[in-house]
Chain A
Amino acid sequence: MTVQKRFLRVTNILFVVLMLVQLLPDKVSSETHTTYLIGFAIVLEVLALAASILSKNENGLNLSLDIIGFLYALIIVWTLVTAKFNVLNEALFPPLGKVFWQLIQDIGKIYVNIKSSLEIIAQGYLLAVVIAIPLGLFLGWSVRLGNAATYISKFLGSIPPIVYIPYGIALLPTFRSVSVFVIFLATFWPVLASTMSGVLNVDKKTIDSAKVLNVSKPTMLFSVILPAALSQIFIGCNQGLSVSFILLTSAEMIGAQYGMGYYIKQYSDFGDYTRTIVGLLVIGAVIMLISFLFNKLQGYLLRWKQ
C-alpha cells in the first residue's frame, strides 16, 4: 500500500474536523468536560494511526478506519447538537465529554456491578450448558426417549423464562439465586434442543465409521457425536447467551441491589441520564466483548471446518 492509501483518509479528516468543532464556544450552562471527549478522540486516532502503520491488508485497514470514522461522525453530530448549539434537552442528552467523565468517576462502582451481573450469568449459563449438552447427547442418541423428550422440551422451552421470576422469588431465598435459576432455564432449553437436533443430524456414515472402529458408548457420545454435532450445539449456546443478558438486565431492573440493570434503573429514576447513558454504553461494550470471545472460542473449536 502506498503512503497516501495508508494515511490520506476521510477518517483522519473527520478527526481534524472533530478537533476544530471543540473550539466552538459551549452553549450549555453545565460543565461539558470537553477534555475527556478530546482524550477519547485522541485514543481513537492513535488506534487509527497504529492500524494504518501496521496493517498489511487493505480490506482489514478499511474496516477498522471506517468504524473509527463512523464514531467520529457520531461524536461530531452529538457535540454540535448538545454542547455547541444546545438543540436537544440538556438533561436528557448530556454532552459526550460529560458521559466519559462520569464513566471514569464511576469506574469502581461499574466494576462491582458488572462483576455481579457476570457472576450470575456465568453460574446460570455454565450450569445449564454442562447439564444440557450431555443430556441432549444421551436423549438424541436413544431414539425413543429423544422423540418423547422433543415434545416435552418444546412445551417447557416455549415458556418465556421471565415469567418464572415471580414463582422463582417464592421458591428461592435470594434475588441472586432467582436470577441464576432463570438464566439456567433460559439457556437450558435452547441448548438441550439444539444438542438433540445436532445428534439427530449427524451423518449416518460418520456413525458407521465409528461403529466399525468398535467404539464404546461413552466414546461414541463424547468423542464422535459431540464434535460432529458441535456446530449445531453452538446455535443453542449462542441463543442462550443472548437471552441470558436480556433476562438478567431486566430482572436487575425489577428487584436487585447490584448489577448493570440496577445501575441504569437507579440513576434514571433519579433523572441522572448521564449515568443512564454510561450504563447503556458499558452494557453494550461488555456484551460485545463477551460475544467476541465466544465467537473466538467457537472458531477455535470448529477450526477443522474451514
Chain B
Amino acid sequence: MSKIDIKNLTVEYSDKNHSFKALDNVSFSVELGEFVSIIGSSGCGKSTLLSILEGINSPTDGKILIDGNPISGTGFDRGVVFQHYSLFPWMTARNNVAFGIKQAKKELKKDERLKIADKFLDKVGLEEFKGKYPKQLSGGMQQRVAIARALAMDTDILLMDEPFGAIDAKNRTILQELLLSLWEESKKTVVFVTHDIDEAIFLSDKIIMMSTRPGRVYKEIRVPFKRPRNRSEMIGLKEYSDFRNKLISLFYGDIVDKIGGSKVVL
C-alpha cells in the first residue's frame, strides 16, 4: 500500500455549451517518505490536481487514497504551502505558525505552541523576524514562514503548490536547499508542483510529467541521483546533463505533439 494512491482522477468543468476536462484519468502513487514533483506547463491541471489532494476541490470522477482510506475534504494528515497568500496578513510570523499548530494540536497550551513555533522559525532562519507581519517580510521570508508552519503542524504529508514560483532565482536555490535539508530531517511525504525542470530534478525522487488539455500523466520518471544531494556536484555530472536533456526533450516533445509535430519549429 502506498502512502498516497491517486486513482483515475477526472475533473470536468462545464457550463451550458462547453465542457472542459482539466484532468483526465490521472493515476499515480506516492510512497511513504517520497519526494514527488508534478511538472507541466501552465494549464496542465497540476494545480487542480493538488487542490484535490488538499481537499479544497473534489473530483468529478476517481478517488484519492491516503494510507488506503479515501479522502473527503481537508485533513490533519496534510500540510499545505501555496505560492501566495498562505499566511494571514493580520498575524505576525510567530502567530501564523502558532495558529497552524493550534488547529492541528488542540491539546497544546498557548506557551507550548509558541515554543514550537519559535523552534520551527529558527529552523527556517527567521529568528530575527518572528514579530513581523507578512507585509514586513520579503516573498522568500513569507514562504519560509509558510514552510515553518506546515512543518510545525507535523502532518505526514506536505503539499506544495509552486511555493518558489514567485521568488527570484538566487533566493529560490537557497530555499530549495533549505527545503531539502528539512525534508531529509523530517522524512515527510512531499508532493511538489512546479514548472521548473531543474527544481524538480534537484528535489525529487520521482517526477510526474503532465501533458496539457486534457491534463494527463505523460511520463513518470525516477530521478537517479543519490542523496544527500549537492547541487554544484550534481550539475557537474555528465549523467545530470543527459538526464536533464532527456526531460527537456520529453517536456517539449509533448508540446510539439500537441501543436502539430515536426512541422513546427520551436
Contacts and interface: CB of A to CB of B under 8 A. Distances in A.
Interface string A218-232: 010001100110100
B90 A228 contact: yes
A212 interface: yes
B85 interface: yes
A224 B88 contact: yes
A208 interface: yes
Size range of the chain B interface in the assembly: 20 to 34
A269 B87 CA distance: 60
Contacts of B76: 214
B82 A205 contact: yes
Interface in B69-125: 74-76, 78-80, 82, 84-91, 99-100, 103-104
Interface string B196-224: 00000000000000000000000000000
Size range of the chain A interface in the assembly: 20 to 34
B55 interface: yes
B60 to A, nearest CB: 20
Given A228-B90, A305-B89, A212 B84 contact: no
A208 B99 contact: no
Contacts of A214: 74-76, 103-104
Contacts of A223: 99
A170 interface: no
B133 A212 contact: no
B82 A209 contact: yes
Main secondary structure of the interface of A (DSSP, over half): helix
A4 B250 CA distance: 75
B85 A203 contact: yes
A230 B89 CA distance: 12
Nearest to A303: B133
A212 B85 contact: no
Nearest to B153: A213
Contact of A212 (B54, B88, B135): B54
Contact of A211 (B74, B89, B99, B153): B74
A305 B135 contact: yes
B85 A206 contact: yes
B142 to A, nearest CB: 12
A255 B75 CA distance: 60
Among B51, B87, B88, which residue has the most Cβ atoms of chain A within 10 A? B88
A212 B78 contact: yes
Given A304-B135, A306-B135, A213 B100 contact: yes
B74 A212 contact: yes
Contacts of B80: 209, 212
A73 to B, nearest CB: 42
A215 interface: yes
Contacts of A224: 88
B88 A206 contact: yes
A205 B55 contact: no
Nearest to A226: B90
Contacts of B89: 304-305
A213 B79 CA distance: 7
Nearest to B89: A304
Nearest to B132: A304
A210 B91 CA distance: 13
Nearest to A205: B85
A170 to B, nearest CB: 45
B235 interface: no
Contact of B82 (A208, A230, A306): A208
A206 to B, nearest CB: 6
B56 interface: yes
B99 A209 contact: no
Contacts of B54: 208, 211-212
Nearest to B80: A212
Contacts of B99: 213, 223
Contact of B103 (A208, A215, A230): A215
Contacts of B91: 304
A304 B56 contact: no
Interface string A293-306: 00000000001111
A206 B56 CA distance: 12
Given A208-B54, A211-B74, A214-B104, 4 more contacts: A203-B85, A206-B85, A210-B88, A212-B159
For the complex of A and B, the 4 pairs showing the least CB-CB separation, nearest first, are A205-B85, A212-B80, A227-B90, A304-B133
